[in-house]
Chain A
Amino acid sequence: MGDKYMDPYTPKTGAIVSLSFGKFLRACILWQVVRFVVINLRMIVLILKSKH
């Protein structure tokens, strides 16, 4: 599907295109363990900032 994203004359042109390394990282278990920690720490910060 990749090539059609790059066509500069379609409505899809404005969108950023995810590349193969980014897609690999999305499913890479080791990297995702790291991201899991980051996402949940970020959520905890957000919850603490929201307490009134």
Chain B
Amino acid sequence: MARVVILGGGVAGHTAATFAKEWLGEEHEVVVVTPDGNWNWTPSNIWVGTGEMRKEDAVFPIAPVYEKVGIDYREAKAVSIHPEGKSDSDKAFVTIEYTGQGKAGQSEELSYDYLVNATGAKLDFDATPGLGNGNAEPGPHTVSVCTAEQALHASEELEKVMEKMRKGQKQTILIGMGHGMCTYQGAVFEYIFSIEHKLREEGIREYAEIIYISNESFLGDFGMGGMHIKMGGYAGSSKLFTESLYNERDIKWILGAHVTKVEEGRVTYKTLDGDTHEQEFDFAMLIPLFAGVGIKAYDKEGNDMTDKLFTPNGFMKVDADYTPKPYEEWKASDWPSTLQNPDYKNIFAAGIAFAPPHSISKPVQAPDGTPITPAAPRTGMPNAMMGKAVAASIRDMILEGASEPTHTANMSEMGATFVTSAGKDFFTGTAVAMTIYPIVPDYEKYPDTGRDINITTAEIGLAAHWTKHIQYHIFMYKAKLLPGWTLIP
């Protein structure tokens, strides 16, 4: 019997665990270690954050689902990885610390034959002074929609400023990135347009000045260096499409910004030209910097070797080319395929937890060297594909004796769909449906724009909202492992 331990129960971890169990059956053990007892469909946090969905509809308890299919679930967080075992044993193990199941605070050593690191990211609010509360949680001045709980709080704060608007008071709404190295621009895009739609539906839009603040150097970068889409016989930049939408909805934008300080009702930010500015607000939703969750690694003698498994920002090293090189020399082949750790062949990383070789957007910085560049996005569909590919490779290594991973999930060879809500209503709602292939541009394969122009598209309309709505129900169904879930792509 082999034991597969999966750290993290988000999209990547949940997908890896459920497919691994489905394929490996009762003869092998699949263990999931995740500190949160609820599974959260994070794309729906946007609707929770505008008060258009109940928090309870975006989450469900994970323990009964895992119990149903025989996955061993530990409500705990991973503390350290010991890939060589310890002085009296060669068996690899992880140290976990329980956060629930009546054992909060207790530590345990959990041995493994295969390990999948799918912990997601630590929301590093404290990387921006004033954005956090000192405990890696949102501070008192702004809100976040990164978790369902945070989104619920955001909707409550939003309701307060909306109440003032109903009384005729002008309010400034600031939404965007709380650090110069943030990712998650797609979700922020969704949140800003959902709020704008909600205010219009209520007839109070004229009382709100809505401002987007971002580390992108152009609108429509989305952390992917933008994309080109067909426009009347031309291939036009996503900058045109995105600017058009912002203009149409009268949303202002601040670009190339690194937020340096957050105070009550005010942010201070530095821009790419080196200048420092301030922006006042009545309501602000700012995304924090994402970092690795801080798992340590130790060798057989107990010496710290965290830097062997992880990059300095805490993400796990996999089969990527991490050689530092200038933007002009970046290639699609820099990106990892098997997601296997190069030193320990039984360790994989999937989703946000793997260390990308570099960003996708061109790195730029302020004159004093402050980097102001979006990090590479790793969310949703790509994460699920990575989780499934890793599970398939482990399955073949266990059942077929494969010596190398048999499946790949390279972001330069896979696409993504982003359906971003811009108003939730079956008849008056709208959304932007974007398809992009590949996520990381490959200028050798697609010399014109780096991507397949036939399936790299963006359009806005009611149909995209229907798609978004149906996706919510389909993926919640799949995540709950209801009958036929394996048939859902």
The smallest C-beta distance from B268 to any residue of chain A, in angstroms, reads 22
Residue B153 interfacial (CB < 8 Å): no
Partner of A52, one of B231, B414, B455, B462: B414
Please determine whether A46 and B415 come into contact, CB atoms closer than 8 angstroms.
yes
Task: Count residues of chain A with CB under 8 A from any CB of chain B.
Answer: 28
Please determine whether A35 and B463 come into contact, CB atoms closer than 8 angstroms.
yes
Q: How far is the CA of A39 from the CA of B457 in the complex (A)?
A: 9
Please determine whether A18 and B248 come into contact, CB atoms closer than 8 angstroms.
yes
Contact indicator per residue, chain B 385-417, by CB within 8 Å of chain A (1) or not (0): 100010000000000000000011110011111
The smallest C-beta distance from A19 to any residue of chain B, in angstroms, reads 11
Please determine whether A18 and B489 come into contact, CB atoms closer than 8 angstroms.
no
Q: How far is the CA of A25 from the CA of B461 in the complex (A)?
A: 8
Task: Count residues of chain B with CB under 8 A from any CB of chain A.
Answer: 41
Q: Given A26-B430, A39-B464, A42-B435, do A15 and B459 touch, yes or no (CB 8 Å)? A: no
The smallest C-beta distance from A38 to any residue of chain B, in angstroms, reads 8
User: Secondary structure at chain B's binding surface: helix, strand, loop or mixed?
Assistant: mixed
Please determine whether B463 and A33 come into contact, CB atoms closer than 8 angstroms.
yes
Please determine whether A39 and B248 come into contact, CB atoms closer than 8 angstroms.
no
Please determine whether A52 and B463 come into contact, CB atoms closer than 8 angstroms.
no
Q: Which residues of B contact A36 (CB under 8 A)?
A: 463, 466-467
Q: Given A15-B243, A42-B455, A45-B455, do A27 and B435 touch, yes or no (CB 8 Å)? A: no
Q: Which A residue sits closest to B411, measured CB to CB?
A: A50
Residue B428 interfacial (CB < 8 Å): yes
Q: Which A residue sits closest to B429, measured CB to CB?
A: A27
Please determine whether A39 and B463 come into contact, CB atoms closer than 8 angstroms.
yes
Please determine whether B389 and A52 come into contact, CB atoms closer than 8 angstroms.
yes
Q: How far is the CA of A17 from the CA of B385 in the complex (A)?
A: 36
The smallest C-beta distance from A43 to any residue of chain B, in angstroms, reads 5
**Contacts A12-B243, A39-B467, A42-B435 given; 19 further ones with Cβ under 8 A?**
A5-B247, A15-B247, A16-B231, A16-B243, A26-B460, A27-B461, A29-B427, A32-B461, A35-B459, A35-B463, A36-B467, A42-B457, A43-B417, A46-B415, A49-B414, A49-B415, A49-B455, A50-B437, A52-B414
- Give the 10 A-B residue pairs with the shortest CB-CB distance, closest first: A50-B414, A15-B243, A36-B463, A35-B463, A46-B415, A26-B461, A32-B463, A32-B462, A52-B408, A16-B244
Q: Which B residues have a C-beta under 8 Å from some C-beta of A?
A: 231, 236, 239-241, 243-244, 246-248, 250, 337, 385, 389, 407-410, 413-417, 427-428, 430, 433, 435, 437, 452, 455, 457, 459-464, 466-467, 489
Q: Which A residues have a C-beta under 8 Å from some C-beta of B?
A: 1, 5, 12, 14-18, 25-27, 29, 32-36, 39-40, 42-47, 49-50, 52
